[in-house]
Chains A and B, each alone.
Chain A
Amino acid sequence: MIYGDKKTGVLVQGATGKQGEFHINLMNTYARQVGGRGVIAGVTPGKGGKEVHGVPVYNTVKEAMRNHDIGASAIFVPAAAAADSIMEEANAGIQTIVAITEHIPVHDTMKAIAYARMEGCSVIGPNCPGLLSPGELKMGIMPAGLFSRGNVGVISRSGTLTYEVVDELTRAGIGQSTVIGIGGDPVIGQTFTDVLAQFEKDPQTKAVVLIGEVGGNLEEEGANSTNLPIVSYIAGISAPPDKRMGHAGAIVEGGEGDARSKIARLKKLGVPVASRPSEIPEMVRELFRGC
């Protein structure tokens, strides 16, 4: 598993909001099932001293850090304040930051990610479902019921499409090491390349499913950067140019980043590309047969 395990203490920013409260409960339900630490502190400015599902809430990240051993965080604050939350956590010394928030203006994201890089921390997202390492750690909003533990890593720009693929894998008896959603925005912190580098160092992960989308060329960059065996799927072959397909990042601009050329480039790198999600489990099995 990557970016944390059972022993990781998680902080949630936006702890007293509807989303934050709802997901603290789910994350800690999972932590209890697997014997992990889960969410141990929350932060909402002005709400210090409160509790959310038994988790103490602080006014600032630094205050929470003084009182707890925190290794990672999940951000549920609204778009207008989310970039500031990323910088606050980076400044306080949190190593891994998962930004769930969607609709953050991209200039805010660029600044926050540049700042986090300066402080030496990794940002996952924004506009992502977070990550789940079966049997270890759920940090974000992924529905735990679909997952099973194993040695396939999954990296994706989507949320529900990831669940679809995980469901297919689990039904086919293929377990996962870590499933991570890196976000659907044009500017994201950890890219396919960064996550693949983590998977390479992880002894549990033997192969990776890379779920991409139209827009940009980060999928190809990632596939080109790793020696791990990969199966890929790219959504958006039917996406018309200049229309954003839900995600701000899923847009074909000036002929760049369309699905067909992306798939062609991946195939050229020797990466098998599924033409629909239901083909993925069989292609993963094929990878293992080749090993």
Chain B
Amino acid sequence: MMTGDKNHKTCFHCALPVPTGCELTVQIEEEQRPVCCPGCKAVAELIRDTGLSRYYDLRDAPEPGVGRPPEEAAEWKVFDSPEMLDAFTESHDDMREATIYVGGMYCSACSWLIETTLGKQPGVASAEVNPITHRLRLRFPAREASLSSHLATLADLGYQPQPLSPESTVRPEVTEQRTALKRLLVASLGMMQVMMFAVGLYSMDFQGIDPDMQHFLRLVSFFVTTPVVFYAARPFFTSAWRGVARRKPGMDLPVSIAVGSAYVASVYATFTRGEAVWFDSVTMFVFFLTLGRFLEMRARHRSIDRSAALSSLLPNTATRIDNEAHVVVPVSQLTTGDHVLIRAGEAIPADGVLASGATSVDEALLTGEATPQTKVVGDELSAGSVNLDSMIEMTVTSTGGDTTLGTISRLSERARYARPAFVTLADKIASYIVVALLVVATGVATFWYFNDPDRAFVITLSVLVVTCPCALALATPAAFAAAGSRLSQLRLLVTNGNAIEALSRATLAVFDKTGTLTIGLPRITAVFVTDNAWTEKDCRVIAAALEHASTHPLARAFALPDELPVVTSHEIVVGEGVRGIIHGREWRLGNASFIGGVAEANDSAATHVFLGVDENVVAWFELEDELRPNVAQTLENLRGHGVGTALVSGDNRAAVESVASRLAIDDVYYECTPEDKLAIIEAAQKRGEKVVMIGDGINDAPVLAGADTSIAPAHGALLAQTSADVIMLGDSLSPLTTAVEMSRKTMRIVRQNLAWAIVYNALALPLAAAGYVPPWAAAIGMSASSLIVVLNALRLNRFE
């Protein structure tokens, strides 16, 4: 960190103090800048000459407070109130610590810039930026109690600061990862060092031993290995002990025995000037194990990073309209029914309904839909999407965890903890394998003790190391973790651990119709006027006027014309239709019996809505629900993968068959109750089919639960209610094919991994037991084997 010492110039390039007497300068943007050494001068000139001076702009700190619109500065003042300080900072003794998400960071130059600029501000104890997660940890004395000036400074620098509340930042996986990285670092540095010494020791074995030199190298190796064993390898020991205590020995037990005994034996040999030391094998073994675990953990965490990114989409403050006055409040204080003002470019703070204005919003992160969505009054808006075009007012309908965004985050969370039965089984088996290995190792030790006691220890050590069932234990979880995170990138949230395996075996896909194969938004396909007193246009206008206030899904089919006649005595009759008085006559819109007339033939593919006046039918509308985009192609692809398709629906025969014939679905069931649907699925399962049910599951949760696995296309309000194993975000059904392909690939990789682990162990164990494998080679063999397994699993991340 830089000091504020004014007596010293600091190097323009590297920010270190320029040594006295050094007169080197470099000309950047018309100005001579001091540099500290020829090296910095050379780099600075190179950067300038390649036209990348922007690099320095990114780091240049403008004067605080300059050029800042006052109304924006006021926005940060909110964070100075005691409630906000409590909500967004943590108190430690007399210091407060705030975590701030810094939007708009590019690279390490940015973190450098932020740390230096904030570090120089009065009242800042420390500022640390993590360039990966874009998070700034700011510590300042509690009595200073002003967060706003620092936020304003960050905004001045051109970043978008967002204070994060402690709940959202103290994420266990971050700590986990940081610790794991430290252990990996210790293990890798230790390994590099010890390997260097080991080469020396081995070369001396050939060249003749110089005991003093050998002792020296062994001593140094001992010093370097000790932190590797006691720090980097600690998780293995604790986990092994936990396994023993619970009487369920895990794969860490043989690892711990091998590391522990090799270390103790080596230390003994070092101080008694014994025959051989195995520090190199120990550090290498620990390094590769740690590396394997680290990679596996990265695969697991990747999906979490995404959900963390989701929660960072929310703004921290919103502009609430209280009796014409605009008040900036923290988002957490918004409640249902509030009116909020959202300017162009701002993120929408809560779920709500557009109350005034019209705009387009970017919902890409929520639905995967890349094109901006046009929104008019009455349309739903989702928290976390971005208002693109113009200022709008919104009525809040749900906040916080109840929003779509909150639900997606929660589902992602659930997905993370989903543990496939397959993995649990593998864990159980691993337990037996570990016991078997220990028995074998004891046998080997006994045999060699009686035949060649000098080699007994080395050989047993090799056996323990080479047969470490790490590959076996990693084979499945690594693959599932990688698959889960890749699927979530493809906008498929897996909330049940068994879904991937079930999906890979699917032989029959059963679809619901409305809202699944179709969008769920009907549109008028034909108007039949039966009373010549009225034109088609009259009928449409009157129907639109009647439906205007209705919330029924069919209502949206009647697009609003410019001018609507006035409706009085408007009434909605549930299950029947709507009625109201227009120009003194009573109009009704609804099903045939509601109008009072005789039912017209209703055996066609579409839904019919009748319009009547004074109990006489005037016209009827034919409504049809549009198919989702790419449905036909998706079903075709599924059949190409050997998955049959069936359609079950509660709708009438004609409507269902019309859809089925357009999509070439063979098995069609119509007018089904949820019980019927469940019976159909169970019948298919009796025939030996593995059934995947695709439906929104709002009304038929038992049906979803009855299938081998279930997938729900869902967004908006439906998300929270669905109980499906896999949730598809967005409008298209095509991720379905991806899900099936992905699940099969996952299972293929799991099988490859298991096969590899078994073959490797079957080959390595006899060789090691026969004494052909020295410990270092055993460490390499075992590590290579686990790395192969993890890397093979990580291939899933690249799945298209």
A, B bound: no
